[in-house]
Structure formats: structure tokens, C-alpha cells
Amino acid sequence: MTGAATTGTAGRRPPRASRLRTLANEDVELRHHVVHGYRRAYRIAGSGPAILLIHGIGDSSATWADLIPGLARHHTVIAPDLLGHGDSDKPRADYSVAAYANGMRDLLGVLGIERATLVGHSLGGGVAMQFAYQFPERTERLVLVSTGGVGREVNPVLRAVSLPGADLMLSLLKLPTMRLQTHAFVQLMKLLNTDLGQDAPDLLNLVNVLPDATSRSAFIRTLRAVVDWRGQVVTMLDRCYLVRGMPTMLLWGSRDSVLPVRHAHDAHLAMPGSRLEIFDGAGHFPFHTDPIRFLALVENFVATTDPGNLGIEQWRELLRAGRRDASVEPSDAVGRAIGGQDIREASERSAT
């Protein structure tokens, strides 16, 4: 695998996503299955090696709708609504990253799928990494898109929503007067060409799909499992060594206002052999900004890498050996990425 980082063409207008569609809508319709007593919604299409698409917090499988047909030409594509999201049930339950990884394993088991390439966005990237940590023998590749769990930094709005009273704040955003004020603010951010202006429309859509108190409660419980007033509370940096040899690609927008692009470079350094692709001018949703490039990158990555074959015994040996950063000199780039104070703070924020 190449370790090079590349960017897109600055100022290029993204192609229309509708050009990607190659399947009829009914081929990717939403389906449901009850697992552990809870209804899980998911989309599935195509045939061939499996690709599991995991959305971010507050989102749903619909976020991948324009990409599924293209990927389904050569793969079985599964895109679930995480528990507490979309059309899945929203119980008072465990919404931790580890619990979501278990849920992905169980859904794949129900569908009779043994192994998959995981594509995770934001929170979904953290879930994908956790899945690879818990179930390495079932993971073929990792594609981490604007992924959570790299550094502490996160958009201040999400830190605020993790505080008490967040449910009231979210409910107020749906009032007509607040909608007008919020819309005006978004337009101003876009006019000023800020990074937040890049992401605001997508982020507001996440708020708009929280129709009731149950949905808002599930959203807040999920957020508080990974974010508090200080920032992100879980990390993947302290166990990146466990996916050594696992084909990994990082995709990020250069103007991500939710998780800064610096996290992409830190993760790239912490995961030797990984690929890094930066979408110049894109925000937190690069697959919305330039879906054609995104699809091409994922298809090329799958086609040019062999599936990871990390077995249980190999995983145990890596675990016993532990991280190698203790002997790394501070001048080493990887050491700077995952060593010293950074790794101590990361260890305090481990997912399990």
C-alpha cells in the first residue's frame, strides 16, 4: 500500500451525485430484522465480497444512498441504521462504540456474512476501528472517513450538546422562529466561506431528523458515550498497532469543521502503510461533496489490496508485544503522533 497523501483540485465543483445511480431504488430499499428483541433497519444490495457502510452520529443509512448502487456492481453492500438512529429502534440502551461493534457483528451474522471491508464515517469510523479490534478475523479492510477517536478536538457545538439540558436545546431548534435564525446564521457562515459553513447544511439535516423526544434522547446518549465538555472521550490511537497489516485508507475533507484534518495526518502516521486521501475544499462529508471520486477511491482500494488475514493467534502475539512507541525517539514522526503526552491522553480515553 502507498502511504502518500493526495488532494483533489482546489475550487472544483463536485459532480452531481445522481450520476452515480446504476440500480433501481427498490434494489436498495430499507429492510428490517429483529436482533436481541430490537428492530434493526438496513439496506442491502449487490453480490460479491461484502462492504459494510457505517454512518455517523445522528445520521442513517440514507447518507450512503448515492454510493450504494455503484459499490453494489461488484460487492454485497450492507448499510445499517445504527441502533438509536434512522428507522432502527431507539431503546434506553448501551450506545457505546463497543456495543455498536457488537451490533455490526450480530447483523452480519444474521445475514450470513463472515467477513467484510468496513467503511465508517465519523462515529462510524470509530465503530469500524472497534470492530477490527474486537473481531480482527472478520475484518478484511478499513476505510475511515473523517473518523472519530483520533484526537480530543471536536466541534464546540457537539461538546455543548453533551451537557445537561441538551434535549431542551435540540427541541428549541425545531421552533419556527429558531429555524429562521439558524437558517440566517448558516447563510452567513457560507457567505463568509467558513469551514462551519461547509458543513452546516449537513449538520442541520441531522437535527431535522430528530422528530421526537425518543430520537433526541438516543442521539444525546450516543454523543455522551464519545464526547463530553472537554472533547472526545475515546480513542483508537492507543491500539492502532493491533491492525498492523490490515489494509487501511483514511479519507478526509480539508475543511472539516467537526473533526480537524490534522487528525487525518495523525492517524496516518500512527498507522504505517495506510493510505491517506484529502478532499480539498470538502468538509465533514467528503462523500457528499465529491461522491464520484469517493467511489473511485474505495473501489480502487479494494481492488488493489488483499484482504487482511489477521488471525486470533497473530492478534494475541501483537497484543502481548504491545506498542513499540516506548523506544521511539521523539524525532521520529510516528513517535510524535502516538507517543509522549498524546499517547498518555489517548490511553485515558480508551474505548474499552
Which sequence positions are flagged as catalytic? 122, 256, 284
CB atoms within 10 A of CB 187: 12
Paired with 277 in beta bridges are 6, 251
Cβ neighbors of 18 (< 8 A, separation 6 or more) are 66
Q: Write the DSSP symbol of residue 161.
A: H
**Burial tier of 60 (Cβ tally within 10 Å: 0-12, 13-18, 19+):** buried
The string of DSSP codes covering 32-101 is EEEETTEEEEEEEE--SSEEEEE--TT--GGGGTTTHHHHTTTSEEEEE--TTSTTS---S---SHHHHH
Length of the chain: 352
Distance CA 289, CA 240 (A): 28
Of 75, 332, 63, 108, the C-alpha closest to 205 is 63
**HSE, side-chain direction, 13 A CA sphere, residue 343:** 18
β-bridge mates for residue 39, sequence order: 34
Provide CB contacts within 8 A for 312, sequence distance 6+: 136, 137
Angle at 209 between CA 206 and CA 213, to 5 degrees: 110
Q: Residue for cell digits 465503530?
A: 127
Helix (H, G, I), strand (E, B) or coil at 244: coil
In whole angstroms, how large is the CA radius of gyration of the chain? 19
